[in-house]
Amino acid sequence: MNYFLTEEQQAIVDISREIAQKKIKPVREHYDVTEEYPWPIVEELRKADLFGVYFHPNYGGLGGGGMELCLVMEEISKACAGIALSIACTALCAFPIILFGTPEQKKRYLPDLASGKRLGAFTITEPEAGSDATATRCTAKKDGDFYILNGTKNFCSNGNAAEIYTLFASTNLKRGARGISAFIVEKGTHGFSMGKKEVKMGIRASPTYELNFDNCKISKDNLLGGEGHGLSVAQGTFDISRPGVAAQALGIAQGALDETLAYAKMRKQFGQSVLSFQSSQHMAADMATQIEAARALLYTVTKAMDHELLQAVEKSEKSGKAVYDELKQIASRRWTKYSAMVKLYCSDVAMKVTTDAVQLCGGIGYMRDFPVEKFMRDAKITQIYEGTNQIQRNEIGYALIKELSQK
């Protein structure tokens, strides 16, 4: 299917595919088993400039948007969704800075994130605050020119590999949701330490950590957006970051289908190829159709979002105002509904397709030394993180009701 990619976008696909197929495929099992961090692969991704595809050239980026990030995520995830997270988590750290950062914050943090010199992470979840981010207990107490962070964050993807973190903490517990603020925290800040490392079902090449803050003192210049605006920073970020998860899910689904077709064609039962049975063909047909529908939705929404986002980024570079403020000038409505649809649909497709892929491969599909079961394990998280699919449905339902009331 021709999606009319630009020359640059096609180059991104070609390079990402070459790295995925030549460099990642041979080692993905190793990282899945050992849970080591794939630094040699990260180095390949750095050298190929893939960390910088969605950053403005002023920070050393290629000048692309969400679409470019999605293309990288899709291709890398076809080989290993866990390794793809090195880029996705860095993006999730960078997006709030791109959208809400001051010119100084952008100059200070974006170049290293764009080159991949320093990786990023995003941390909002807490033991008691998951889907309900308003239950945040981690606090940031103002103290002169500083904030003092105290509390625990958990399930932080890219955990100890990252060096720059965007973090959400309450600057005023009494105000609940309106008391949450966003901050940028650097690794090595006194009072900031790694807690336990989680052992996970999938995406095992990506380290998930608990983060502890014990009287961790950060400059007031690290406040991202205004005090009490944290939830809006998180929501604005998710609007543009969720397609990245969708692209990861899409890559997982496509990767699983590719492996499955190759195997089913070769595998002989009753004297013929398994793929020659109509029951297999119908399963494969459904998988391929769902994948193509997911891709069409993802690309359409992401291209439309980029149309506004890239204008806002360009304007912000000239005006010095935050990208998010420029975005609101261009269009008053948010992208929440569509980005939720994309994330919901692609991840549900990934789960369905990978489950069917294991079924179609039969016994070998269930075995660890065949890659299809890994795709199934990796697919599950895409229905959970960056907002569970139940939350995505809430967002879509809420948007539908709001649209009705405006008619």
Partner 1 sequence: MHIVICIKQTPATSNVQIDPKTGTLKREGMAAAINPFDEYAIEEGVRIKERVPNTTVSVITMGPPQAEEALRDAISRGADLGFHLCDRAFAGADTYATSYALQMGIRKIEKETGKKISLIICGKQTNDGDTGHVGPGVAAWLDFPNVAYVKKVEEVSENSIRVWRMMEDGTDIIEMPLPALIAVVKEINEPRVPSLRGKMAAKKAVIPRWTAQDIEADKTKIGLGGSPTIVASSFNPPPRTGGVKIEGTTPEEKAKNLVAKLLEMKLL
* Minimum distance of partner 1 from residue 53's CB (angstroms): 7
For residue 206, give the DSSP letter: S
Q: Is 22 in the site for partner 1 (CB under 8 A)?
A: yes
User: Largest Cα–Cα distance of the chain, in whole Å?
Assistant: 78
* Minimum distance of partner 1 from residue 327's CB (angstroms): 26
Please state, in angstroms and rounded to a whole number, the distance separating the CA atoms of residues 250 and 77.
8
Contact 181, 151 (CB under 8 A): no
Tell me whether residue 30 or residue 368 sits nearer to partner 1 (CB atom).
30
CA 83 to chain centre: 12
Single out the residue of 3, 5, 8, 58 in contact with partner 1 (rule: CB under 8 A). 8
**Pairing of β 139-143 and β 180-186:** unpaired
Tell me whether residue 11 or residue 396 sits nearer to partner 1 (CB atom).
11
Tell me whether residue 8 or residue 198 sits nearer to partner 1 (CB atom).
8
* Minimum distance of partner 1 from residue 8's CB (angstroms): 7
Q: Is 353 in the site for partner 1 (CB under 8 A)?
A: no
* Minimum distance of partner 1 from residue 373's CB (angstroms): 28
Q: Is 12 in the site for partner 1 (CB under 8 A)?
A: yes
Question: Which of 112, 120, 69 minimizes the C-alpha distance to 94?
Answer: 120
Q: Is 67 in the site for partner 1 (CB under 8 A)?
A: no
Which of these segments, 12-20, 80-88, 120-128, 255-263, binds partner 1 (CB under 8 A)? 12-20
* Minimum distance of partner 1 from residue 179's CB (angstroms): 42
DSSP states along 136-148: ---EEEEETTEEE
Question: Which of 266, 280, 343, 326 minimizes the C-alpha distance to 66?
Answer: 343
Q: Is 87 in the site for partner 1 (CB under 8 A)?
A: no
Q: Is 47 in the site for partner 1 (CB under 8 A)?
A: yes
Which of these segments, 8-16, 109-117, 190-198, 279-287, binds partner 1 (CB under 8 A)? 8-16
* Minimum distance of partner 1 from residue 97's CB (angstroms): 22
Q: Is 36 in the site for partner 1 (CB under 8 A)?
A: no
DSSP states along 277-293: SHHHHHHHHHHHHHHHH
Neighbouring residues of 273: CB distance < 8 A, sequence distance ≥ 6: 264, 265, 266, 267
* Minimum distance of partner 1 from residue 11's CB (angstroms): 4
Which of these segments, 11-19, 30-38, 103-111, 367-375, binds partner 1 (CB under 8 A)? 11-19
Q: Is 14 in the site for partner 1 (CB under 8 A)?
A: yes
Single out the residue of 7, 104, 145, 369 in contact with partner 1 (rule: CB under 8 A). 7
Q: SS3 for 308-367, per residue?
A: HHHHHHHHHHHHCCCHHHHHHHHCCCCCHHHHHHHHHHHHHHHHHHHHHHHHHHHHHHHC
In 3-state terms, what secondary structure has residue 19? helix
Catalytic residue list:
386
Please state, in angstroms and rounded to a whole number, the distance separating the CA atoms of residues 120 and 97.
11
Question: Which of 245, 233, 301 minimizes the C-alpha distance to 95?
Answer: 233
Question: Which of 53, 65, 46, 194 minimizes the C-alpha distance to 118?
Answer: 46
- Write each residue from 232 to 251 as x if it is in contact with partner 1 (CB under 8 A), else as -, in one continuous string: --------------------
Q: Is 39 in the site for partner 1 (CB under 8 A)?
A: no
Single out the residue of 49, 292, 314, 317 in contact with partner 1 (rule: CB under 8 A). 49
Q: Is 44 in the site for partner 1 (CB under 8 A)?
A: yes
Tell me whether residue 26 or residue 176 sits nearer to partner 1 (CB atom).
26
Residues within the interface to partner 1 (CB under 8 A): 7-8, 11-12, 14-15, 18-19, 22-23, 44, 47-50, 52-53, 62
